[in-house]
């Protein structure tokens, strides 16, 4: 999975919102809101670099008190959501 270029997270009215930056990414029909954990993961990702669910799970287990199996399952779901929202590539 790769984070797509031009999508950055901003705190708006207390919510973590993905904001498309650059005229090629302007599409206001789909707003992506993230909880604090998914926003933490998004901030860890470098644009254009490949990551696996295992990579993201490692970030979670280092930062939060969560077991590996739960972290991996959650990260697999997060990646699927990001790809579906078109802010990441599989």
> What pLDDT score was predicted for residue 2?
95
> What pLDDT score was predicted for residue 27?
60
> What pLDDT score was predicted for residue 5?
86
* Among 41, 42, 78, 36, residue whose Cα is nearest residue 61: 41
> What pLDDT score was predicted for residue 19?
85
Q: What is the pTM of this model?
A: 0.87
> What pLDDT score was predicted for residue 76?
98
> What pLDDT score was predicted for residue 82?
94
The count of C-alpha atoms lying within 13 angstroms of the C-alpha of 55, restricted to the half-sphere facing its C-beta, is: 12
Residues of the chain with pLDDT under 50: none
């Amino acid at each position: 999975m790769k984070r797509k270029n031009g999508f950055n997270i901003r705190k708006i009215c207390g919510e973590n919102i993905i904001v498309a930056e650059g005229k090629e990414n302007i599409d206001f029909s789909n707003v992506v809101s993230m909880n604090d954990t998914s926003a933490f993961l998004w901030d860890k990702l470098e644009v254009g670099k490949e990551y696996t669910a295992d990579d993201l799970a490692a970030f979670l287990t280092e930062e939060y008190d969560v077991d590996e199996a739960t972290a991996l399952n959650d990260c697999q779901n997060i990646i699927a959501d990001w790809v579906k929202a078109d802010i990441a590539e599989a």
